[in-house]
Amino acid sequence: MTGQSVLIVDDEPPIRRLLRTSLGAQGYRTLEAATAADALARIAADRPDVVILDLGLPDRDGLDVIRAVRASNTVPIVVLTSREAEQAKVAALDLGADDYVTKPFGMDELMARLRTALRHRLAQDGAAATFRSGDLEVDLVRRYVRARGAEIKLSPREWDILTLMVAHAGRVLTHRFILGRLWSAGGDVQQLRVYVRQIRQKIEADPERPRHILTETGVGYRLAEQETLP
Amino acid sequence: MSDRDIRPSPEALLKQAARDSGRGRLKIFLGAAPGVGKTYEMLASAQARRREGTDIVVGLVETHGRAETAALLEGLQVLPRRRVEYRGNTLEEMDLDALLARRPALALVDELAHSNAPGSRHPKRYMDVDELLEAGIDVWTTLNIQHVESLNDVVAHITRIRVRETVPDGVLDRADEIEVIDLTPDDLMQRLREGKVYVAQTASRALGHYFSPGNLTALRELALRRTAQRVDAQLLDHMQAHAISGPWPAGDRVLVAISGGGNAAALVRYGRRAGERLRAPWTALHVETASRAELSEAARSSVTDALRLAERLGGEAVTIPGHDVAGDILSFARERNFSHLVIGKPALRGVFTWLRGSITTALIARAGDISVHVVGSSERKPARAPAGPAVLTQPARAWPYLASTGCVAAAVLLGLALQQVLTASNISLVFLTAVLIAAASFGLWPSLYACLGSVLAYNFFFLPPVYTFTIADPENVVALFFFLIAALIASNLAAGMRAQALAARGRAGTTEELYRFSRKLAGILDMDDLLWATAYQVATMLKVRVVLLLPQGKANGESGGEGIAVRAGYPPEDELDAADLAAAAWCWKNNREAGRGADTLPGAPRLFLPLRTGSGSVGVLGINREGGAADAVRPLLAPDQRRLLDALADQAAVAIERINLAADVDRTRLLAETERLRSALLTSISHDLRTPLAAILGAASGLESYHALLDEAGRRDLLATIRDEAERLNRFVGNLLDMTRLESGALAPRLEAADLGEMVGAALARAGRVLADHRVEIDLAPDLPLLKIDPVLFEQVLFNLLDNAAKYAPEGSTVTLRAWHETGPGTAGQGRGRLVRLQVIDEGPGLPEDALELVFDKFRRIPGGDRQRAGTGLGLAICRGFVEAMGGSVVAANRRDRSGAVFTVTLPVQPADDAVPAEHEAAAPPP
């Protein structure tokens, strides 16, 4: 194991204990903070490789923490929240959080998100030329897409959407993020949905039950990676 | 007519729409005289309709004992009549409510012009019929032409019998169908001789005259002509509704000018007929001048009656203020484009009419292109209303005349003093001044009196030969004559000015009062204050007794909650009798005035007016006046008082609506606040449930996935997490259930004698894991008596208090539990007596001073949302609920010696249990 360091920010001792034990077993070094102030101090001082952040903190809102961290730091942040509200998730992602996990969560899911966040941090500069996940293969250099062994023709806008997803494979991309990247102005969620449906028609075996492009209801889309395939 | 607009006129379409809507259809069987067979014809038609399957109910039919008519009732459902006791007689009336409840498709109601027995809902049967139509029930009814309001005096002229029971023309006009039951006079006479015509005994004296061939012919002509006129109007409606262009009249309008004379009603009727003939809208106008404001009560009520009659006959009634009657009438007529003016011939002729100039002459002279109809009055002067002395002329007051005498006397003295300087003819100016002063100060009559006195005094004291009433010099006779003329004119003018000034001052006073009232209302925010202020204002301005009724809240509204109840009164009054309540309820429901002096329920002691605003009515205002039953005949308010009342009521209604709206806004805000709290509560509960679940699930899935990677300590750690968090979840669910029991009132403590020490031990054992990181000190007094409590609930109370201490006090600190026994003033409901107090004391940060009481509120953590520690927020609320259910109390405080919170539970000691020797078991030590 790499001995990467994880900062656990949660005010609930049982959760901290659980994460400490589980992450320790996987070889991560764990740091802990129970308050927002504590968390900000730790991030500045200890420079963790990734932060697991509970949005409900006693002293400040977790969203404030994200805002404060992003002002100076690109450390990956995985948000932990018991809030059902989609707005909170979207707000966290828009503020620069890398991903989110809703409480209660399975440990597998949290670990997968954590790994994705860490990998993207490492691979920020040199992205791989080819993306493979299950029966889907995207070659970013030669610009082709292969699904279930056959080459797929995509329109330019569809290609842009898919490559954006490939660049952030495994992470959730909010509607706003995708629109902001690909539409200079005036794009709306409705339009995006139409394109995603078209891409699914081409690459998914069963477009009604997609395995590659997953919908995060009310938030955005996530391109499944091999290991996160449902 | 030049304008050939072929669009359907909106009015015609509206009328059409009103007819097509849910209102029932009215058919009138119209006869020229009794005995033509209206009832027979109505029943015969009804039988035909019954055979077609129409649901017909006979509301009321008079067969007058004739077999052939009675036979026609066969097979029709006849509603039982309502019996009304009135002055020892039993009268039978139609049972309107039963008919409304029965809701037939078609109701037969005989004799539309009938007056109901006193105390009925409506004084007139046509109003009953109107309510039936309003309820969507079709009505067939019968009517004789003599009962039609506008023809009333014409018929009286022909037959010399005036019928008192009349039906407004509007009823006839709104009827959907009119069928004339026509019989030639000869046939009718024949039937009369055969005894086929029922005539009331009382009328039999007049019979010979009434049923003369000449009368019958005239009546028949009236009936036919009236119906023909209506057919014409119907045709016109149809043509307008369907945009058929035709020669309808080009905007003739008829204006009836009425004054206080006795023929005002006849003028109005004439105006109505003229309007009908010309197919023109018509208006009755009264100009209220300053001097006329001093009209006698009788004249004023004659004007009011005439204006009301005009409204009943379907015209418009207008009162305008003015000073030059003729000029004002004509400018009103020009402004509103009237082409015909109806005026009465002046009743009086005399020097004053001549002096002022007859209004009639002035109108004719200045009318220009307006046709003026001068109507003679053939009516006998109506007998003075038998209303007692109050309506006669005002009692003459003496002091203005005395003062006028003083003026003249002063003039004499001044004249004598100035005699040396002035000639006799110039001294007349001194007297003229005296007359003017009397006129300006005391009005017309005292000034005329002063005028006369001045002439005599001037003659006596100053015209030679002095000290006699003879005049020697013919020149002086002429001078005296001109002095008299000048004094008369001057006093007349001055008195007029005074009267106008008085009226203006009165109006200004009223206006200012209204303005003050509206300002006062604007400042009131509380409904009860507002109602009281309104009641007081109306009561003092109009010298009446006032009640205000508002709709009852839906919360306690029985039977649909549409009732209204008294909310304020001046003088204060809470109870209304049944008649008043019925009138108020009817007024509220129908949004029209009811009660004394109104069309509906006139038997009620009070008059009720709806308080209306643009968006509906907000309440009901009821007034009455002190005084016996004799007063009941007279209208409650004079017209100007009525206008004032309407103005006050309007202002009050707007203010009430404003407060209602403000209350609505408050309710909405409260609702939003409740909504916000609810969502905060949901967030809180969801957080409390999910945090332990997250830990459990995370630990379980971690064990499952990474079992091999975990060492023994790690595995045990995760298992411990699962167990601890499951316990925490269980506590939280338990708290939720307890709270639910408390809230739903399902909590029934089973009180039994229990030992405190035993329960402390049990609670500590249960709280062992919670308090694992704290030190616990127990300090129980040795003489504690047995307590009458529910052990299960009390253990929960103790546990929650300990749990709370453990949660807020830092690890390693001490939690102290003390209990002792004292004689105190007692707790709520317990009176003096012995108590046991129990305290849980921690070394945490303590409580904010302003939150000592709030901590017992449910979900007290709400401001913190989900950012605080889970599992709190219910425990203390449950403590208080349980302790209070057991008759005790619990309060929170801060420690005096150091930081930390103190929770004190006080429980009463039941006297009966005092005898039982207390067991002094040692408390179980903390594990």
ipTM: 0.70
In terms of phi and psi (left: phi > 0; alpha: psi -120 to 50; beta: otherwise), the region of B769 is alpha
Say whether residue A149 is in contact with chain B using an 8 A CB cutoff. Answer: no
Amino acid B248: pLDDT: 42
pLDDT in tens, B444-457: 888 888 888 888 88
User: A88 by DSSP, 3-state: which?
Assistant: helix
Amino acid B838: pLDDT: 92
Q: How far apart are CA B824 and CA B322, in angstroms?
A: 83
Say whether residue B690 is in contact with chain A using an 8 A CB cutoff. Answer: yes
- How is domain B10-241 classified at the CATH fold level? Rossmann fold (3.40.50)
Q: How far apart are CA B28 and CA B175, in angstroms?
A: 7
DSSP B576: -
Say whether residue B594 is in contact with chain A using an 8 A CB cutoff. Answer: no
Say whether residue A17 is in contact with chain B using an 8 A CB cutoff. Answer: yes
> For A150-170, what is the mean pLDDT?
88
**Helices then strands (H, E): number in chain B?**
26, 25
CATH 3.30.565.10 fits B742-915, yes or no: yes
| Sheet strands side by side (includes A99-102) | A29-33, A5-9, A50-54, A77-81, A99-102
Cα angle B722, B725, B729 (rounded to 5 degrees) comes to: 130
Q: How far apart are CA B612 and CA B413, in angstroms?
A: 63
> For B599-607, what is the mean pLDDT?
81
pLDDT greater than 80 at residue B196:
no
pLDDT greater than 60 at residue B924:
no
Say whether residue B807 is in contact with chain A using an 8 A CB cutoff. Answer: no
- How is domain B527-661 classified at the CATH fold level? Beta-Lactamase (3.30.450)
| Other Cβ atoms closer than 10 A to B651 | 20
Which of A11, A14, A61 has the CB atom closest to B721's CB atom? A14
Tokens at B4, concatenated = 């050939």
- Picking from A122, A154, A188, the residue at the C-terminal end of a domain is A122
What's CA B148's distance to the chain center, in Å? Answer: 32
Amino acid B758: pLDDT: 83
Which of B683, B711, B870 has the CB atom closest to A12's CB atom? B870
Range among A148-162, B278-292, B373-387, B912-926 rated most confident:
A148-162
Question: Which amino acid type is present at position B100?
Answer: L
Tokens at A2, concatenated = 């790499």
B900 and B843 in contact (C-beta within 8 Å)?
A: yes
Residues in chain A, total: 230
Say whether residue A56 is in contact with chain B using an 8 A CB cutoff. Answer: yes
Residues of B in contact with A61 (CB under 8 A): 867
Matching residue, tokens 């200045």: B366
* Beta strands B775-780 and B56-60, pairing class: unpaired
Interface probe for B, chosen from A22, A28, A84, A110 (most Cβ of B below 10 Å), is: A22
B412 and B461 in contact (C-beta within 8 Å)?
A: yes
Clarify whether residues A84 and A161 are in a common domain: no
Residue B375: strand pairing partners:
B344
Interface probe for A, chosen from B683, B691, B728 (most Cβ of A below 10 Å), is: B691
More confident of the two residues B230 and B414: B414
Question: Are the beta carbons of A14 and B724 separated by less than 8 Å?
Answer: yes
More confident of the two residues B680 and B14: B680
Total domain count, chain A: 2
**Domain boundaries, position A179:** 130-228
Sequence ranges of the domains in chain B: 10-241, 254-380, 404-501, 527-661, 742-915
Say whether residue B865 is in contact with chain A using an 8 A CB cutoff. Answer: yes
Question: Are the beta carbons of B695 and A18 separated by less than 8 Å?
Answer: yes
- Picking from A122, A157, A173, the residue at the C-terminal end of a domain is A122
* Alpha-carbon distance B797 to nearest alpha carbon in chain A (angstroms): 25
- Picking from A90, A122, A154, the residue at the C-terminal end of a domain is A122
* Alpha-carbon distance B549 to nearest alpha carbon in chain A (angstroms): 49
* Angstrom distances, CA of residue B516 to CA of B505, B522, B523: 16, 10, 11
* Alpha-carbon distance A217 to nearest alpha carbon in chain B (angstroms): 20
When the pLDDT of each residue in chain B is averaged and rounded to a whole number, the result is 78
B254-380 matches B10-241 in CATH topology: yes
Nearest CA in chain B to A82: B687
Domain B254-380 class, CATH top level = alpha beta
| Sheet strands side by side (includes A172-174) | A172-174, A220-223, A213-216
User: B908 by DSSP, 3-state: which?
Assistant: strand
**Is residue B902 very low, low, confident or very high in pLDDT (cuts 50, 70, 90)?**
very high
| Other Cβ atoms closer than 10 A to B851 | 12
Residues of A in contact with B696 (CB under 8 A): 104
Clarify whether residues A97 and A161 are in a common domain: no
pLDDT in tens, B713-745: 888 888 988 988 888 888 888 878 887 877 777
What CATH number does residue A216 fall under? 1.10.10.10
Say whether residue B866 is in contact with chain A using an 8 A CB cutoff. Answer: yes
| Sheet strands side by side (includes B26-31) | B77-78, B56-60, B106-109, B138-144, B26-31, B177-181
pLDDT greater than 70 at residue B878:
yes
* Angstrom distances, CA of residue A217 to CA of A89, A206, B649, B656: 11, 19, 59, 50
B708 and A29 in contact (C-beta within 8 Å)?
A: no
Residue B287: strand pairing partners:
B320
Residue A61: strand pairing partners:
A56
Q: How far apart are CA B57 and CA B106, in angstroms?
A: 6
Question: Which amino acid type is present at position B101?
Answer: A
Amino acid B911: pLDDT: 59
Q: What is the sign, positive or negative, of the torsion defined by CA atoms of B883, B884, B886, B888?
A: positive
Residues of B in contact with A103 (CB under 8 A): 690-691, 693-694
Amino acid B355: pLDDT: 52
pLDDT in tens, B160-176: 777 788 888 888 878 88
* Beta strands B254-257 and B340-344, pairing class: parallel
Which contiguous run of DSSP H or E holds residue B527?
A: helix B527-542
pLDDT in tens, B745-763: 777 788 888 888 888 888 8
Amino acid B528: pLDDT: 87
Residues of B in contact with A10 (CB under 8 A): none
Residue B565: strand pairing partners:
B550
Interface probe for A, chosen from B701, B727, B769, B807 (most Cβ of A below 10 Å), is: B701
| Sheet strands side by side (includes B901-908) | B775-780, B814-824, B833-841, B901-908, B889-894
Q: How far apart are CA B871 and CA B653, in angstroms?
A: 53
Residues of A in contact with B724 (CB under 8 A): 14
pLDDT in tens, B260-289: 666 788 888 888 888 887 778 888 888 877
Amino acid B382: pLDDT: 41
Minimum mean pLDDT range among B353-357, B708-712, B774-778, B809-813 = B353-357
DSSP B235: H
> For B221-230, what is the mean pLDDT?
77
DSSP B548: E
Q: If you count residue pairs, one on A and one on B, with CB atoms under 8 Å apart, how many are there?
A: 95
Residues of B in contact with A24 (CB under 8 A): 714
Q: How far apart are CA B901 and CA B840, in angstroms?
A: 8
User: A78 by DSSP, 3-state: which?
Assistant: strand
Residues of A in contact with B693 (CB under 8 A): 103-104
Q: How far apart are CA A6 and CA A19, in angstroms?
A: 10
Clarify whether residues A117 and A223 are in a common domain: no
Say whether residue A126 is in contact with chain B using an 8 A CB cutoff. Answer: no
Question: Which amino acid type is present at position B300?
Answer: R
> For B586-608, what is the mean pLDDT?
83
Spell out the residues 6+ positions from residue B482 whose beta carbon is closer than 8 angstroms to its own: none
Amino acid B905: pLDDT: 92
Say whether residue B397 is in contact with chain A using an 8 A CB cutoff. Answer: no
Matching residue, tokens 């317990």: B830
User: A80 by DSSP, 3-state: which?
Assistant: strand
pLDDT in tens, B819-868: 988 876 544 444 456 888 999 999 888 888 877 777 787 665 534 444 44
| Other Cβ atoms closer than 10 A to B683 | 18
Which of A19, A25, A58 has the CB atom closest to B867's CB atom? A58
* Angstrom distances, CA of residue B498 to CA of A183, B202, B448, B510, B767: 86, 54, 14, 18, 96
Spell out the residues 6+ positions from residue B922 whose beta carbon is closer than 8 angstroms to its own: B757
**Is residue B386 very low, low, confident or very high in pLDDT (cuts 50, 70, 90)?**
very low
What CATH number does residue A94 fall under? 3.40.50.2300
Amino acid A9: pLDDT: 93
Amino acid B926: pLDDT: 43
**Helices then strands (H, E): number in chain A?**
8, 12
pLDDT in tens, B455-466: 888 888 888 788
Give buried/exposed letters for B771-798 (b at 16+ CB in 10 A, else e): beebebebebeeebbbbbbbbebbbbbb
Tokens at A173, concatenated = 């991309």
Q: How far apart are CA B173 and CA B313, in angstroms?
A: 10
pLDDT in tens, A175-205: 888 888 888 776 788 888 889 999 998 888 8
pLDDT greater than 50 at residue B178:
yes
Tokens at A130, concatenated = 């080819």
Amino acid B923: pLDDT: 42
Interface probe for A, chosen from B693, B706, B872 (most Cβ of A below 10 Å), is: B706
Question: Are the beta carbons of A58 and B699 separated by less than 8 Å?
Answer: no
Matching residue, tokens 């204050």: B529
pLDDT in tens, B333-385: 887 778 888 888 765 554 545 555 577 788 888 888 888 888 875 544 443 33
Q: How far apart are CA B30 and CA B718, in angstroms?
A: 100
> For B276-303, what is the mean pLDDT?
73
Question: Are the beta carbons of B718 and A105 separated by less than 8 Å?
Answer: no
Question: Are the beta carbons of A56 and B866 separated by less than 8 Å?
Answer: yes
Which of A21, A104, A108 has the CB atom closest to B694's CB atom? A104
Residue B534: strand pairing partners:
none
* Alpha-carbon distance B866 to nearest alpha carbon in chain A (angstroms): 6
Interface probe for B, chosen from A10, A11, A15 (most Cβ of B below 10 Å), is: A15
Say whether residue B695 is in contact with chain A using an 8 A CB cutoff. Answer: yes
Question: Are the beta carbons of A22 and B724 separated by less than 8 Å?
Answer: no
Residue A89 CA neighbour count, 13 Å, CB half: 22
> For B483-507, what is the mean pLDDT?
82
Q: How far apart are CA A126 and CA A132, in angstroms?
A: 16
Tokens at B908, concatenated = 């009463």
Q: What is the 3-state secondary structure (H, E, C) of B340-362?
A: EEEEECCCCCCHHHHHHCCHHHH
Taking the alpha carbons at both ends of chain A, their separation in whole angstroms is 26
Say whether residue B916 is in contact with chain A using an 8 A CB cutoff. Answer: no
Determine phi and psi for B8, rounding to 5 degrees.
-60, 135
Q: What is the 3-state secondary structure (H, E, C) of B637-702?
A: CCHHHHHHHHHHHHHHHHHHHHHHHHHHHHHHHHHHHHHHHHHHHHHHHHHHHHHHHHHHHHHHHH
DSSP B180-222: EE---HHHHHHHHHTT-S---GGGHHHHHHHT-HHHHHHHHHH
Determine phi and psi for A16, rounding to 5 degrees.
-60, -40
Question: Are the beta carbons of A14 and B868 separated by less than 8 Å?
Answer: no
pLDDT greater than 90 at residue B904:
yes
* Beta strands A150-152 and A144-147, pairing class: antiparallel
